Amino acid sequence: MGVKQKVIEGFQKIFGEKPAILVRAPGRVNLIGEHTDYNDGFVLPMAINRAAWIALRPRDDRRLQIYSLDYQETAEFSLDDLHKGEGWVEYIKGVANELNFARLQVKGWDGVLGGDVPNGAGLSSSAAVEMAAARAFAAVSGFNWEPARMAQIGQRAENHWVGVNCGIMDQMASAAAQAGHALFLDCRSLEYEQVPLPNEVVVVVMDTSTRRGLVDSAYNERRAQCEAAANFFGVPALRDVSLEEFQAKRDELKNTVMRRARHVITENQRVLDAVAAMRAGDSQILGHLFNESHASLRDDFEVTNEALNQIVAAAQRQSACYGARMTGAGFGGCAVALVEREKADAFISAASKEYRRHSGLEALFYISQAAEGAGLVAQ
Would you tell me which residues interact with ligand GLA (CB under 6 A)? 34-35, 37-38, 166-167, 169-170, 328-329
CA–CA distances in Å: residue 176 to residues 28, 112, 173: 11, 23, 6
As measured in angstroms, the least distance from the Cβ of 127 to ligand GLA is: 7
CB nearer to ligand GLA: pick between 169 and 177: 169
Beta-strand (E) ranges in 149-214? 181-186, 192-196, 201-207
As measured in angstroms, the least distance from the Cβ of 130 to ligand GLA is: 11
SS3 of residue 69 by DSSP: coil
Chain-centroid distance, C-alpha 357: 29
Q: Which of 37, 40, 170, 300 is catalytic?
A: 170
CA–CA distances in Å: residue 226 to residues 170, 218, 284: 20, 12, 31
CB nearer to ligand GLA: pick between 34 and 130: 34
- Any idea what the Cα angle at residue 9 is, between residues 8 and 10, rounded to 5°? 90
Do 241 and 226 contact (CB within 8 A), yes or no?
no
As measured in angstroms, the least distance from the Cβ of 226 to ligand GLA is: 10
Q: Measured between alpha carbons, how far is 198 from 165 in angstroms, rounded to an integer?
A: 33
CB nearer to ligand GLA: pick between 139 and 298: 298
Is 81 marked active-site?
no
Q: Measured between alpha carbons, how far is 318 from 301 in angstroms, rounded to an integer?
A: 26
CB nearer to ligand GLA: pick between 106 and 127: 127
What are the residues whose beta carbons fall under 8 Å from the beta carbon of 346, sequence distance 6 or more?
320
DSSP alpha helix (H) spans, 180-239: 215-233
CB nearer to ligand GLA: pick between 34 and 207: 34
As measured in angstroms, the least distance from the Cβ of 203 to ligand GLA is: 16
Residue 307, amino acid: A
Residues taking part in catalysis: 170
